[in-house]
Structures are given as structure tokens and as C-alpha cells.
Structure 1
Amino acid sequence: MAVASAAATAATVDPVVVSGPSPFASCTIGGPGTSYVNAEVEPWVAVNPANPSNVIGAWQQDRWSNGGARGLVAGYSFDGGQTWAQTNLPFSACAGGLGYERASDPWVSIGPDGTAYSVSISFNQSNNNNAVAAAVSKDGGKTWGNLSVIIADNEPSLQFFNDKESVTANPTKAGVAYAVWDRLELPNGNPYANLHTRAYRGPALFSKTVDGGLTWSSPAQIVTVPSRQQTIGNQIVVDPRNGTLYDFFDLITSPSNGTPYNVAFIKSTDDGATWTKPRLIADLRTVDVVDPNTNEPLRTGDIIPEPAIDPATGQLYVVWQDARFSGGQYDEIAISTSTDGGATWSAPARVNTPTGRLAFNPAVRVNSSGTVAVTYYDLRNLAAGNTTTLPTDYWQTTSTNGGASFGNEVHLAGSFDLKLAPFAEGYFVGDYEGLDARGTSFLPFFVRTNTTTANPTDVIAAP
């Protein structure tokens, strides 16, 4: 159904550097491991519906080679993303907040009254203490308070690890927001290896606030899985017309099924009190993500689907990495869409411009005119035989017909050398990148590498 248009000369935009020097450069907490000072990765962004000139982003600051970062930082803008300032999010010891050694998986969402909610996975490297935490900003991202620990597993048995949380503000109910995540039992931090641990499982948990982040409900299990199954990448979108909640995720099943990764969702029509059973949208056919010239690993969001909803019509979209279009040779960007509340879904179709090269880390949003945007990285400019650098570009493509076709490609950044990114189980700019709609326009929010190891990466906005 949704196919990329023929490649044409792409438009370009002027990127804006969002991140600055690391506020944690002198912090010695969090080892062992390699901390990439001044390396920002895995950004997320939200536009304030009460004041669209106000934009708030969040990212990992000083990424560690073996998981998480020294802390999370928030960037905020009051001119639509043209200029930025930054402040620490209170989720780690380096940030002067919670006493955990590291933080990861930054997320931010803004309610209709302008209240911003941010969440984190906060954890220790020295033991298995870990938590999902939340904080709130009432001033456009300049300061953060109401620091709350939604769940904590601080015990020495290595039994539980909370992972890949997100937060979604209700778009029509001020003070209401929802957090979701997976809680791994007998974790080792690697979903691929977890598949082979018979006592392992990873259900999805849910908590919500109805008082603007002052308190959060006790975590409730909303996806129950048997042994050797888990969810990952849980993310809620809300239909503002009727309040229906949709939680999208990757449902990972036993490897004996042949296709263990599955794009799935559940829904709730009573504000999260009860949920449907998981429904599968499509199998997720990712393959090893590597530099095709050297076989060096890239760490990407290969098992993380990204959803969006058209607020005017309720049409649902979900994108993910998939190798089905290349005959299983390399990942590209797949999309599926539903116009009937998830009852039926279109067959997976390719979004990215086909170049014979890897495409990864898609994000998707729908603007106020119903235009759908998808952003992603690709390696189209990597020449055969180039083993010294990894030229990478960032793109946006759009659809004005409900995802039936995509075109009007915009070149957002690049080429830049991905081999200058932090190495964390592979060259790493994040398991996801940010994108939000601002009226009839879009605001991509992503990571680009630089040309010096003293400042490996920066967060970039393309307003």
C-alpha cells in the first residue's frame, strides 16, 4: 500500500544544534565502563500544545559503553526550536537527583495545560538496583520538580529490571499522563539472549497520574506473557476524539516460532482500567544491523516499533525496521496503518527511498493537516570498499494520502561518519530519535556525529 516515490533531488534544511557541553564531565560516578564525555544520544521531543513556540527535548548525556548514561538532560526552546537552553533532569546522581549511578531511555510529553512530564530508567552498574522515575515541569522545561519513583526494584537477587519506559500526556485531560514499560524477570539486559532463558519473561506495566504528576498509580500489569516471552518498546497514543488508549510494542516470542519479533498493540476504552488482549499487526523481520563493508555492528532501534495517530481522524500508523523488502539482506523502514481503530491493518510496505542500503531508526508523526512524516537514517552514500568511515544521512519523507504513498524527501543532515558515535554494543546514536508535529509543520530531533572525539555527537533540531 504505502510505497516510496521515485528518488528525486531532495530539499534541504538548516539544522540547529541543541546540545552543549556536558554538565556531567567532572562526575566520576557510574563505572566501570567507557563514558563518552560530550556524547548525546537517544533524543525525544515534544511540542507544547498550550504554546507551540515552546518545545522540550530530552536525551542521554555522556553515554556509557555498557549501558545508560551519566544522566539525562532536557533542552527547551521558546521560539519553535530555533534557539535552545538546557537543564539537568533529576534522574541520576551525576545530575544531583536520584542516587542511581546511571539513567537511560529519556522521554517527554506535554499535556493540554502545558504541563510537561519526563520519565527515566534509573539504575546502578554496581548492582541491580533500578527504577522508573518521573518529573514534571510547569515552566516550559526550565525547571523540573515533583520527582517521583513509580517503581523501584532495589534488591540483590538480579531478579527484576525495568526497561524501555515511555510517557504520554492525555491530549484532552489536563493533569493526566500514562507511563508504560517492560519489567524483565531474570534479566541480562539483552532481549536476544533472554529468548534462550527458560525462566525469563517480560510483561508490560502501566501507571498513570491524574493530578499533574504529584502522584502515580501503583503499577499494573497490562500485558501478561508466558515464560520466554516479553514486550519491549511500549508506547501509548491517545485518540483525542474518544479517549481510547493504544499501547504499541514489540511482542517477543519463543525463537522456535521462526519469527520471534512481532509488532503488536492493546487498547483501552476506560482510561487504562482494563485492556484488550494483544493483537498482532505484523511480524518484525529485522536482521543483523552492520556496516556492510566491514561487518562491524551498529546498535539501532531494530526491535522498537514507533506509533502515531491522526488526531482528527483517529487513523493509526506504526513504523519499524524490516528486511522483508530486501529479501532479508538489510533493514529498511516498514509502515502499517489502520482506519478502524486497529481492527484491520494494511500490509507492511516500504516507506524509505530504496537505495540498496540499510535504513534505520524511523520516527512517525501526523500534523494538523493530516500529513504523515517519517524520519530515518540511511547509508545510501556509503561507497563500496570504504572501510574507514561510515557516511550516514538523516531524511524526512511525507505522505498526504493517509500513508498510501510517500515522497517530497527532505535531507535533514549528513553525510556524517557514524563511526565517530559512541560504541555501545555497536555504533550508537539511540534506539529511537525524536519527531513531533507543530501545526502544519514537523520538528525532527535527532543525533548527528561531529568530527572530533572531544565532542562525538550533538542533538540536532530541524525546525
Structure 2
Amino acid sequence: MAPNGTVVVPFETINGNISAFRSTDGGQSWSQAATVSRIAFHPVAGNLRTSPLPTAEVDGAGNVYVAWEDCRFRAGCSSNDIVFSRSADGATWPAVFRVPIDDVTTTVDHFIPGLGVDRATAGAGAHLALTYYYYPDAACTAATCQLDVGFISSPNGGANWGTATQLAGPMSLADIADTSQGPMVGDYISTSFTSTGTASTVFAVGKPHTAAFDEAMYSPGPLSVASASAATLVASSDRVLTPATGQGLGAAVIHRE
């Protein structure tokens, strides 16, 4: 919810969009859904249960930030990055930017993001913090996948980012809950800011086990946002690559293996 009371609800549609609708009158009426972006999605290895569900936050000026997992910046949709879009009003959405966690030539697959924005900051000075899961090797198998948790932050509204930090892992898929939809860490990941301006995050971690299953929620200590001098990684929107199928992003490409 923005400071002026506008409520914005982002969601993943069944036809391959990230969309959002909003209310400006306390929920008495709602707008038609606006498209934030089409989705290009690389299915995560090991049958891990995940999809491009959006995570969203608002800064102190009412700018809305929405992030999700997406493969548009990878040749052949070989793995997912975390991408985001920013809107001044929740109704119109400009370009989609890639969070520069690592280079697009790596094999790393990023997914299940949890975005936080410090509401004491705004606009070009907005502090963003992002927690996410990742595989170092997108082409791993259920037996070989190593699941990790990472963290990265921006001091200037997502224009530049600091260096990513590993918070947990590696985890074996055998040590996380198995379900009818595949092994899962749930969507139980979140990042929030405290009144002191540091970020706090929670996420699921599966520990090696024998008889007793051991998967629980964990939270590291306070996490600082990268300083302006340390935020040297630039978020880009101009390196979109055509997926290997030859379909453009306008076709709502959801790749399946």
C-alpha cells in the first residue's frame, strides 16, 4: 500500500503475465488488471516446486517495485535471473531490469525472490534488499542439485547493486520437504527493513538428516544495504535475448523441459 492509500496487487496470471490491479478508494472498487510484463521462465531443475510468483514492495514516495524469476536475459532461456519493474502509480509499468547478481554467461539459476524496500527512503535514493534461492548449476539433477540462499542490495532504487552474499546452503533436495508437486521450500521467503535501516530476512533451510527430518525457518543477523561506492553492479534492461524456441517475449514464453 502506497502512502496515499493506493493498494496495488501484483500477481502471476495463467497465461504467462505478471499483472497488477489497484484500488484508490480503500478497496471499494478495483481497476482492471494492467500488464507489468510477459514472462519468460526456465523450469527449475530437480522438479523443485516454484513458479514466477511476484514479490512486491513500495517505497516512501509510493513507487511500486515488483520482482520475479525470469530467463529473458539468458541465451536459450538456460536459467533464470531475478528481474524487476518499477512503477510510479501501479498502473503503468516501464522496462524490466535484470538484478546483476552474476554475469549472464554463468550457469547459476535464481528463483523464489523475496524483495524488501525501506519506506524511509524513496525514488533514486530508495534502499532495496533482495533474498533469493539459487542453484550454482541450472542443469543439475534431483540427485546433484545444491540449493543455496543469497542476498543482494541496492542503495539507489535498483539502478546499481552491491555484491551478492550467500546466506545459507548448500542444501540437498533430499533434505527439504517432498510433495505431490515436487520438493519445496515453499514461498516462505521475505525481506523487510527495520527502523534502523537494516534488512532482515527469513527463509527455509533443510539440514542433513537421517531419521528425523530437519527443515525449519531461519533468519540471519541484520543485513546492511550496500553503500553507494560499493554498489558497482548496474541493473540492465537492454540485453534481452530471444529464447531458443525462436518465440519472442510477446508470446508469453514459458519454457518446459
Question: TM (normalized to structure 2)?
Answer: 0.75
* Cα distance in 1 for residues equivalent to 2:152 and 2:189: 15
**SS of 1:428's equivalent?**
coil
* Cα distance in 1 for residues equivalent to 2:138 and 2:27: 49
The change in CA–CA distance for 1:391 and 1:385 in structure 2 (over 3 A counts) is closer
* Cα distance in 1 for residues equivalent to 2:2 and 2:143: 47
Q: Do structure 1's residue 319 and structure 2's residue 89 form an aligned pair?
A: no
RMSD: 2.0
* Cα distance in 1 for residues equivalent to 2:172 and 2:157: 34
Q: Do structure 1's residue 299 and structure 2's residue 55 form an aligned pair?
A: no
**Does the 8 A contact of 2:107 with 2:138 survive in 1?**
no
Q: Do structure 1's residue 455 and structure 2's residue 230 form an aligned pair?
A: no
**Does the 8 A contact of 2:69 with 2:111 survive in 1?**
yes
The within-5 A match list for 1:49-448 is 238-240=1-3, 242-252=4-14, 260-290=15-45, 296-300=46-50, 302-310=51-59, 312-326=60-74, 327-338=76-87, 340-351=88-99, 352-354=101-103, 355-367=106-118, 368-369=120-121, 370-380=126-136, 382=137, 388-424=143-179, 425-439=181-195, 440-448=197-205
Quote the offset at 1:390 in angstroms. 2.2
Which residue of structure 1 lines up, in the alignment, with residue 228 of structure 2? Answer: none
Q: Aligned residue pairs: how many?
A: 209
The change in CA–CA distance for 1:359 and 1:274 in structure 2 (over 3 A counts) is same
**SS of 1:408's equivalent?**
coil
Quote the offset at 1:307 in angstroms. 0.7
Amino acid at match of 2:98: R
Quote the offset at 1:248 in angstroms. 1.1
The change in CA–CA distance for 1:325 and 1:375 in structure 2 (over 3 A counts) is same
**Does the 8 A contact of 2:108 with 2:138 survive in 1?**
no
**SS of 1:243's equivalent?**
coil
The change in CA–CA distance for 1:438 and 1:298 in structure 2 (over 3 A counts) is same
**Does the 8 A contact of 2:112 with 2:132 survive in 1?**
yes
Q: Deviations 1:182-230 (Å, cap 9, x if unpaired)? A: xxxxxxxxxxxxxxxxxxxxxxxxxxxxxxxxxxxxxxxxxxxxxxxxx
Q: Deviations 1:306-358 (Å, cap 9, x if unpaired)? A: 11101x211110011111122322222111111x2134323222213243221
Q: Which runs of 5+ in 1 are unaligned?
A: 1-237, 253-259, 291-295
- Which aligned segments of 4 or more residues in structure 1 are displaced greater than 3 angstroms? 382-389
Higher relative contact order (CA 8 A, sep 6+): 2
Name the structure where strand makes up a greater proportion of residues: 1
The structure that has the greater radius of gyration is 1
* Cα distance in 2 for residues equivalent to 1:432 and 1:318: 17
Quote the offset at 1:432 in angstroms. 4.1
* Cα distance in 2 for residues equivalent to 1:461 and 1:372: 18
What is the identity percentage for the equivalent residue pairs of Structure 1 and Structure 2?
32
* Cα distance in 2 for residues equivalent to 1:430 and 1:353: 24
* Cα distance in 2 for residues equivalent to 1:364 and 1:322: 15
* Cα distance in 2 for residues equivalent to 1:384 and 1:289: 9
* Cα distance in 2 for residues equivalent to 1:412 and 1:387: 22
Quote the offset at 1:417 in angstroms. 1.8
Q: Deviations 1:20-78 (Å, cap 9, x if unpaired)? A: xxxxxxxxxxxxxxxxxxxxxxxxxxxxxxxxxxxxxxxxxxxxxxxxxxxxxxxxxxx
The change in CA–CA distance for 1:387 and 1:273 in structure 2 (over 3 A counts) is closer
* Cα distance in 2 for residues equivalent to 1:403 and 1:350: 9
